[in-house]
Amino acid sequence: MVEVLLVLASLYQASWAIRGSNSHCEPISTMEARPHSVTITEFGAVGDGVTLNSKAFHNAIFYLQSFADKGGAQLFVPAGRWLTGSFELISHLTLLLDKEAVILGSKDSSDWAIEDPLPSYGRGRELPGGRHQSLIYGNNLTDVIITGNNGTIDGQGSVWWNWFRNKSLNYTRPHLVELKNSTAVVISNLTFLNSPFWGIHPVYCSKVLIQNITILAPLDSPNTDGIDPGDLAFNMCNCPSFKFYFYFYDFCLDSEECNLTFPDSSTDVCIEDCYISTGDDLISIKSGWDEYGISYARPSSNIMIHRLSGETGSGAGISIGSEMSGGVSEVHAEGLRFFNSANGIRIKTAPGRGGYIRNVYISDMTVTNVKIVIRLQGQYGEHPDEFYDPNALPLVEKITIKDVTGENISRAGVLEGIQGDNFLNICLFNITLSVTKAPPWNCSYIQGYSNLVSPKICESLSERIYPKDYPDCYFPSNHLRSSVGQSKSAWLR
């Protein structure tokens, strides 16, 4: 069996090389069970919401490790409330939750181990030094699935939010899920509740698919970002050798390759059909912090977001930055629905970040009761320490946002670049917003183009008529249309 799998894997790797030019993210199919499966109760777990089951999770996964080279294994979590501290995943594993299963994070901070800071951050995000390990974590993994019939992973984060507000923490708060340096990862068909800090955080990863998930936390919970993809590299793909399908960009790869993060310095990530309601950004794309991110040099790129909806108390529907020092590029998002939120699309950076944000394409967005629909901030400060270089200026260019409608909007946009470091080729097309405050747009240190924008936009985004007048705007290749023989309205459809 192992020999057959290895032969199939080599064929899939060749297929990936042939089919890698397709830029579409396709749905994941229903997976079949792994050949080896155990239930958490076989290792003494008790689903009463009171008994601590950390040892049971550790023992179960340790046992399943012997099946990694035999087609992989599955850990099933049945109906019940399964209290646990942090536990580590392995390669070739499916963590499968029953519909009525709830994994509960312990409210005792000693059940969440301390680990080193990420090298692209140089310190904990909130406090110098280390950080608490995520509830579910893994490092250097390949072929991992976290899924269920809408089972639930609940971080019980309120105790952490209180510690944060009271300034009684010694280390940065933990996430619900963090996978590092991993590849071929699927997270699907689950509900994530009340994360202590960020919800799902793949770091330094590739081939990641996040699909059909719900992430919920109170709108006033601090920094409970839903999905933070960053420092990723590569894609999910079709791997029938393990009896399930990873589709991303419609090509296949060998499940043994990869690095993974989410999406913090991550590449080739697909996020689709998700509902998120949290206290901070629904999706936040990052790639390292100031001199540490510049030195580590792991960009986030090739990130696709389809059919995302939700609301946020103080953040944005989609945010890029502010930690973007390793670079962010090729971000494509469409089918967005945001409501009752502070911001729609937000790009954050500052002198000292270095890096770049470029080739971003946002389309088909509807916003309702949003304070600022498009927000570009070139002075979003906060640095890890005093050793950053204030002359390390970020490059922000080729940002295209089109086909946007909105009702009950406070301001259409606040577009603020950096003096001496203008944001370039900011292109806004076919945008109609019902704005309640004047002026609807505030612009400084930006250059670009616009067409069919209402209310009227700043003069620095000069209005042009035909597509040939926008040679510097970014459009993904599959969205490009020939300008020959087309009217302005046809091109903008």
Q: Closest by alpha carbon to 151, among 92, 90, 76, 210? A: 76
Q: Which positions are annotated as active-site residues?
A: 280
Q: Closest by alpha carbon to 288, among 268, 263, 309? A: 263
Per-residue three-class SS string for 446-465: EEEEEEEEECCCCCCEEECC
3-state secondary structure of 409: strand
Structural tokens at position 215: 């992430």
What residue ranges in 1-47 does DSSP mark as E strands? 36-39
Structural tokens at position 163: 């510690």
Q: What distance in Å separates the CA atoms of residue 419 and residue 413, rounded to the nearest whole number? A: 18
Structural tokens at position 296: 């580590």
Q: Which residues contact 35 (CB under 8 A, 6 or more apart)?
A: 67, 70, 71, 72, 73
Question: Residue 72: left (phi > 0), alpha (psi -120 to 50), or beta?
Answer: left
Q: Strands 356-377 and 328-348: what pairing?
A: parallel
Q: What distance in Å separates the CA atoms of residue 7 and residue 177, rounded to the nearest whole number? A: 32
Q: What distance in Å separates the CA atoms of residue 368 and residue 366, rounded to the nearest whole number? A: 7
